[in-house]
Structure 1
Amino acid sequence: MTSSLDDTAFAPWKKADAVPLIRFEGVTKRYGDFTAIDNIDLNIYEREFFALLGPSGCGKTTLMRMLAGFEDASEGAITIAGQNMKGVPPNRRAVNMMFQSYALFPHLTVYDNIAFGLKRSDMPKSEIAGRVEEMLRLVQLGKFARRKPHQISGGQRQRVALARALAKGPKLLLLDEPLGALDKKLRQQTQFELMDIQEKTGTTFVIVTHDQEEAMTVASRIAVMDHGRLVQVDTPDRIYEAPNSVYVADFVGDIDIIRGHVAAVDGDIAEIVWAEGKPPLRGTAAPGLSAGGPGALAIRPEKITISKDDPGAVHNKVRGKVEDIAYLGSMSTYVVLLPDGVRLKCQMANVRRISRRGIAWEDDVWLSWTDTAGIVLPE
């Protein structure tokens, strides 16, 4: 996130007296017998860049459409800035929405696309030109003002759509997979541009995405969804480092999961028995974890060390054979097959030239990690 959102002062969700801009209270949405949103409670605060993250069909777009006014809740209440949105049509809400397709008018210039909504609003005509120029400066498209959409790039069209959505000064901007049509490099560049624009305007952004990396990059907080429910709502670092379930751990980022039985919990450390005759593995105990039930050790590949030599007196070490190697430029991923059939991935930064790499296919290797590198979760 940008520096202002990294600042520990920006954490209104931690403050008892903070008033949310958006409240979902017991919100359920049904389509016949199908429950798309299942009894959700959620607060989103002013100036947040909030991400709804989940696979297709998890309910994130339905949640956004209810915020926009395109769908009504079957049960519960949605309030924006203290006003109950029940029965309030989309055009009467202080909300704007930016679609994946951008929906620009092909026959209008960049300038006229941005001005389109303003000309149909109650803004005095004398102020429209100044507002459009302000938006053009914000998205750095002043020299493209007289071009039409087909004469500019995909990333520039995305910025035109963003400028048009922000022109009327909404309290809340909804972004539905806004970067899906861009190639990876441009998408990454545009993510930082979005963050910068959100910070400058102070507008609350809510983005729907299935791209974990995108959510982790732009969001102040992330709501991970599954089958119409909120599985975890937290900051990106907490979602990544302290997932509250195997589902979240497995969905967000790359991870190794070793399933077994929780043998002991001692303070912040838990032990899991995972294979017959093998020493138990240790990890940070998830909140509320208790011994005696099934569990899983979840560990990120970059936290695992690979070596041809025995790492010595460490609790977490396993031996296996290198089954595959993926060279990814700045790092390499090693897939290691353990004798009992478990496959683990580890990642190493390529600080040396590939020709000097000391580990090759079919090599016998040791994998090791610290006691707190992974997290033991209930199954």
Structure 2
Amino acid sequence: MPQKIFAPWDDPTEKPLISFQNVTKRFGDFTAIDNVSLDIFTREFFALLGPSGCGKTTLMRMLAGFETPTEGKILLAGQDIGPVPPNKRAVNMMFQSYALFPHLSVYENIAFGLKREGKDKGTIETRVAEMLKLTRLEKFRNRKPHQISGGQRQRVALARSLAKAPKLLLLDEPLGALDRKLREETQFELMDIQEKTGTTFVIVTHDQEEAMTVASRVAVMDEGKLMQVSTPDRIYETPNSVYVADFIGDVNLIEGKAHQSGDNVQVIWAEGQPPLMAKTQKDFSLDQQCWLAIRPEKVSISAERPQAPNTVQGKILDIAYLGNISTYHVQLPSGQVIKAQEANTRRIARRTFTWEDEVWLGWTDTAGVLLEK
């Protein structure tokens, strides 16, 4: 029997766990959150992604109860949580700094919230043992935070947050303090733990790779507004605006004027250059300004002119060698630089292309996304 795909947001009968309804948050004259409506579902690993100051942390702080909306309301499991104080919400927050108690052992840190709630000794021991096992910290139970690594401290903070079995766990840049390799390992651990516990996770991050790795859906934010909310693959393959295309991953953006017939569009883009061909489901008016967004891995590079709907010639300006891939920065006669990416499948004794080489770039008419803003 095929596994049911997890996509509650596509099911009209599913009720969201969290519902932001026309939420605005102002600090004096500054609007941090601008009329945001957003639904997040049970068991989701949801990412709020955007640059510093885009409002993602303010959204999270309102969920936690540290801020209250200026307008609109936030529902948790159908209940308006505006009047509910932070300590009475079925929500827990894990801070970027982890905020562990340095004088308490790993075991005592995890047990802290349960003791505060007045749970009996047996319940606490059982629950802490479960959390230690889940986060693979059994053998560190008696150590103090300064006696364990950054990645282990991160897991202690996670175990402590999950010990009280919250409906919702908020993670504020939780992997920011870890080095790259450890961060990548921890991302998969987080996903694994989230899946095992079934807790809904909402993560705030400015790291697009992190959001794309861990999240079931991503909300890309800018200046207090939601720019696009969708699954990672859709945000990458079909961004809805130049801002989202540019923010997520590497992209070539070619500005031009649209000449449309049916779903075929000719993009008039540079003097003396043939138009570029693209396909779209959108309607563009004659000569409407548009942007063709193409990912570098969808652009081929060759010495001879390729058989492709779109071909341009240029000179290699720069080469970024990243081990598994090489990115070529190719300058066209118009001055525009287009990036093309190639996988390094063989060991390179000698590059096929080098700096200053004249090369051809090619891509299909479906490789890019045509955007109007």
| TM-score category (smaller protein) | over 0.9
Are positions 1:137 and 2:133 aligned together? yes
Please tell me whether residue 330 in structure 1 is matched to residue 344 in structure 2. no
- TM-superposed deviation, 1:150: 0.8
For the 8 Å contact 2:260–2:284, the answer to whether it is kept is no
Pair 1:301 & 2:283 matched: no
CA distance in 2, matches of 1:68, 1:209: 16
| Structure 2 equivalent of residue 364 of structure 1 | 358
Q: Which residue of 1 aligns with 2:45?
A: 49
Q: State the one-letter code of the partner of 2:369.
A: I
| Gap change, CA 1:249 and 1:181, over 3 Å in 2 | same
Match of 1:17 among 13, 16, 20: 13
- Listed one character per residue, the Cα deviations across residues 309-356 of structure 1 (whole Å, up to 9, x for unaligned) are 1113x2211000001111110111111000110001111111122223
CA deviations on 1:153-194 (whole Å, 9 max, x unpaired) are 111100000000000000000000000000000000000000
TM-score (normalizing by structure 2): 0.97
Residue type of the partner of 1:296?
W
Q: Which residues of 2 match residues 1-379 of structure 1 at below 5 A?
A: 9-267=5-263, 269-285=264-280, 287-312=282-307, 314-379=308-373
Matched letter for residue 6 of structure 2: F
Is 1:286–1:377's contact at 8 Å kept on the other side of the alignment? no
- Percent of pairs identical after alignment? 67
Alpha-carbon contact 2:314-2:359 (below 8 Å) kept = yes
* 1:183-230 CA-partner distances (Å, limit 9, x unpaired): 000000000000000000000000000000000000000000010000
- 1:375 and 1:17, CA in 2 relative to 1: closer, same or farther beyond 3 A? same
Unaligned runs of 5+ in 1: 1-5
* Partner Cα separation in structure 2 for residue 7 and residue 73 of structure 1: 39
Q: Deviations over 1:142-161 (max 9, x none)?
A: 00101111111111100000
TM-score (norm 1): 0.96
Partner of 1:354: helix, strand, or coil?
Answer: coil
Contact 1:265–1:291 at 8 Å: present in 2 too?
no
Number of matched pairs: 372
Distance in 1, matches of 2:157 and 2:131, equals 11
Partners of 2:200 and 2:342 lie apart in 1 by 38
What's the RMSD between the two structures over aligned residues?
1.3
- d(CA) in 2 for partners of 1:133 and 1:288? 59
Report the CA distance between 1:306 and its aligned residue: 0.3
Give, in whole Å, the separation in 2 of the partners of 1:373 and 1:157. Answer: 44
Which string of whole-angstrom CA distances, capped at 9 and with x for unpartnered residues, describes residues 92-143 of structure 1?
0000000111011111110000001110014333200010000000000100
> 3-state DSSP class of the match of 1:277?
coil
Shift of 1:279: 1.4
Local SS of the residue matching 1:356: coil
User: Structure 1 residues 7 and 261, CA, compared in 2 at 3 Å: closer, same or farther?
Assistant: farther
Q: 1:38 to 1:309 in 2, by over 3 A?
A: same
Paired letter, 1:23: S
User: Is contact 1:240-1:249 (8 Å) kept?
Assistant: yes
Deviation, 1:260, is 0.9
Contiguous gaps of at least 5 residues in structure 2: none
Whole-Å Cα distance in 1 between the matches of residues 187 and 278 of structure 2? 34
Query: Which residue is 1:3 aligned to?
Result: none
